[in-house]
Structure 1
Amino acid sequence: MREYITNGASSGWLIDRKNITVEIYRQGQDVEILENPTTLSGEDILPGFNLDLKEVS
């Protein structure tokens, strides 16, 4: 994910189904780790987009 950010991606989600965590990578910020999230928001990049993680399990 760091390589994607380094190459210009605004953000990225690394979804770990086994450990039920999500790492959120954003330009110029530390990685945010969520434990057992139920949804992910597109924030400012994809306004109105929400990913239901219950469907990803």
Structure 2
Amino acid sequence: YREFWIAVDHNEVRAGKGGEWEPLMQAPIPEPFEITHYGYSTGWGATGWWKFLNDRD
């Protein structure tokens, strides 16, 4: 498995590789709203398996 992380705070969403602090991508959130769902996928035509860590536990 390859590790990735996602963080949402300070009106911004960021994603990066596991073990690296600098994000691969980031985007501003224009106004406050509650995020209730996330979507994940492999690349077009690829197959894959996902494992998730719930850091709140």
TM norm. shorter chain > 0.5: no
More helix by share: 1
TM-score scaled by length of structure 1: 0.37
TM-score scaled by length of structure 2: 0.37
